[in-house]
Each structure stands twice: as structure tokens, then as C-alpha cells.
Amino acid sequence: MMTTMTQVNRQGEVWVFAEQTDGALSEVPLELMGKGRELADTLNVPLGAVLLGDKLDGLAEKLIAFGADKVYVVADKKLAAYQASGYTHVFCELIKKHNPQVCMFGATAMGRDLAPTVASAAKCGLTADCTDLQIGDHKAPGSDEVQKNLLLQIRPAFGGNIIATIVNYDRWPQMATVREGVMALGEPDPARKGKVVKESVDLSKVKFPLTILKTERREKKVNLKAARIIISGGAGVGSKENFKLLWDLAHCLGAAVGASRAAVDLGFIDHDHQVGQTGTTVRPALYIAVGISGAVQHRAGMCESAKILAINSDRSAPIFGIAHYGIVGDLNVVLPKLIKAVRGGASIEQAAKQAAH
């Protein structure tokens, strides 16, 4: 499909793809509404949500409550289950008609399937897994021309050793995907007013090549995003058996157990527990990192924790660079002592008194 390239439209809206499955919105588009609101306000343009599917009752209202000024709705039986071909066709038709300047997608299985396909068809740029999005100016090297008010697409690259800021100024819309949990979920305002724009797109010539035979969905076993305290273990924990100490401390503190990708890859714990760029992004009151060196992919998922406690035998581990509290030592020694300190209420009071003096 060779569509003509989209022109730079300074009045274009900011759009969020409102991913839904079986009539339920995913959490990412709601998170993206907060960021989208901020970008749209900076650019002084409306924030639009693009809602595709079949049975979509009540979803537009929810998107408006979370910040959308307009919700573009395309309801069609053929769109009931996601397929790249149909969704891409509809999304590109809407881009052609309304010429938005920014399109954001959640970096979910669906978003990571759809966004690149749309970018390819619309021949525009796309940056995956942005950890932040801002509006700013860009001056190309060797040129005096300043491109004003571009979408700055910020993401770690090269295994997290660098942070790259990407722009696209000549072929719009500017597109980005953002992982779940990276943007904070805002408070909905049921009194907010917005416009529901019903669109119809002709799908008679679009092929739907996939037959979906079976779908199994499962809930995540742990909800790290809701936890006030998280104790995460990394490769430094050493074994599944040692991880038990983390569970013990978690039980004492009423905390959830998380893990770095390394610990998940080593089979110490299930992927549902993974914190970081390829796992869940969390913002607890206290994040206890045990045997985690603190690679940027992991830090990206936990650096906004209110307090960070690092426990590691290697004082030079990067995790200490962002920690508020630290204990340098073997976790097999340190964790039992912490468990003892938490359990021994009396000794805590004693210590508190001592600390007060």
C-alpha cells in the first residue's frame, strides 16, 4: 500500500490509539491520555483518541473523562478482533482525513503490531518504547533552520548505555510507542466534556488474512503497580532458594516481590514479577533492590520509586547511584537481619529511641 506522505500540519491534533479488547479498554491508552493532554496543551491543539472495534459502549465516555477532547470511533463487526490489516487501513484513513501531528500507541502486543504497520503505510517515522515525550525545538546539524515544537521522543538505546532523543520533522505524523506503566495514570473527571466523532471506513476491499482459532487470556499473577513496597531480586540473589529470603521479608513488610530481567531469565521467578523496561514500571513508596546491579533497563522501571534501598555486595553497582539507603553486604547475611529487625517490634522501638537520641 503506497499512500502519499502526510504533510506537516502544525494545527494537527495529538492522538492516542485507544486499545481495547472485547469492549474493555487497556490501561495504556488511559495512561497515555495524561501525557497526551500535556502535549496537546503545550501545542494548543485538541487531544483525540482513536477507538476501533465492534462493541464499544461506554468507552468513549471513559476516554473523555481521562482527558480526550475528541474520540474518533469506528465500530464495525470486521474490527471485533484485532488484525493488522484492518486496523492499519482504518487508522491510515483517519490520518489522511484529519492529519494529526502526533500519534501515540501503547507498546503492547497489539500496539507493537499496529504502530509500525501504520508508520510503514503512512511512510512516517516511529520511535519504539519511549520513556518520555516532550515538545521542543530541533536544529539539524549543519543547518541554521530551527524546527519548532517537535515531538521529542526520548528512549534508552544500545542496551541502555545511552539515552537517545529522536525527532521527525519532514514526514508526519510523529509517532511513538510507550510501554505500559511508563506514564502515570491520571485521575478521571466524569464531568469533563468531549466530542464523540463517529466515522465509517469502507472495509469491503480490505483483506483479513488471519483466522483466529482460539484465544486464552490470563490475568497477571501479581499486581506490582499497586504495591506500596516492592522487594526485587536480581542475578546477584544467586538461586531460587535464596529468593525465598526475599519472599520472607516481603511477607513481614506486606510487600510485593519483583525481579530484574536477569533473575527472570535465570529462572529464579516468573516473568509476571519482572520490573523494568521489558517488564512492569513501578512507583512504590519503597523499592528494595536486592542483588540488582541496576542496569538502565531495570532502573527505567523503578527509578521513580519514592525511596530506594539497595542491598548488594558490590559497592560499585550502579544501583547505589540512585539509592537513598544502602547496605553493602551479602544478602544471605543482610536479609535475615532485616527480617529480624522488622519482626522484633521491641527492638525496632529500641532502635527508634536510640536513633532519636
Partner 1 sequence: MPYNCVVCVKQVPDTKRITGEAMTPEGTVNRAALPAIFNPEDLNALEEALAVRELFGGTVTVVTMGLPTACAVLREPLARGADRVVLITDRRAAASDTLATSYILSCAIKKMKADIVLCGRPALDGDTAQVGPQLAEKLGLPLITYVEQLVGLKDGVLHVRRNIGNGWEEVSCRLPALLTVMETANVPRPPAVRRLMKTKKARCVAEVAKAVEDQMPAAAPEAKAAETKKRADELAKAGLLIEQWTLDDIQADLTWCGKSGSPTKVHRIQAVVLTGGEYHEYPPTDDGAAQLISALIEDHTIG
Which of positions 276-335 make contact with partner 1 (CB under 8 A)? 285-286, 296, 299, 306-307, 309, 318, 320-330, 333-334
Which of 64, 229, 230, 264 binds partner 1 (CB under 8 A)? It is 229
Rounded CA gap, 191 and 32, in Å?
Answer: 20
Stretch in the footprint of partner 1 (CB under 8 A) among 11-19, 41-49, 125-133, 239-247: 125-133
Nearer to partner 1, 141 or 190 (CB): 141
Place of cell 525481579: 259
Q: What whole-number distance in Å separates Cα of residue 133 and Cα of residue 353? A: 46
Alpha-helix residue ranges (DSSP H) falling in 224-308: 240-253, 261-265, 296-302
* Residue 205 engages partner 1 in binding (rule: CB under 8 A): no
Backbone angles phi, psi at 297, to 5 degrees: -60, -35
User: Is 215 an interacting residue with respect to partner 1 (CB under 8 A)?
Assistant: yes
Q: Which is nearer to partner 1, 127 or 232 (CB)?
A: 127
Size of the chain, expressed as the number of residues it contains: 357
CB of 225 to partner 1, least distance (A): 14
Binding to partner 1 in span 80-119, by CB under 8 A: 84-85, 88, 108-110, 112-113, 115-117, 119
Q: Does 250 bind partner 1 (CB under 8 A)?
A: no
For residue 199, what is its C-alpha cell?
Answer: 466515522
Phi, psi dihedral angles at 310 (to 5 degrees): -105, 130
Give the nearest distance from C-beta 253 to partner 1 in angstroms: 6
Q: And the C-alpha cell for 356?
A: 532519636
Angle made by CA atoms 27, 29, 35, in degrees to the nearest 5: 115
CA separation for the pair 310, 233 (Å, rounded): 10
Other CB atoms within a 10 A radius of the CB of residue 345 amount to: 9
129 lines the binding site for partner 1 (CB under 8 A): yes
Q: Does 24 bind partner 1 (CB under 8 A)?
A: no
Identity of the residue, 68 or 288, whose beta carbon is nearer to partner 1 in the bound complex: 288
Contact between 148 and partner 1 by CB under 8 A: the answer reads: no
Give a three-class secondary structure readout of 14-37. Answer: EEEECCEECCEECHHHHHHHHHHH
Residues 49-78, one symbol each (x = binds partner 1 by CB under 8 A, - = not), give ------------------------------
CB of 85 to partner 1, least distance (A): 7
For residue 103, what are the β-bridge partners? 15, 175
Which one, 162 or 184, has the nearer CB to partner 1? 162
Q: Does 4 bind partner 1 (CB under 8 A)?
A: no
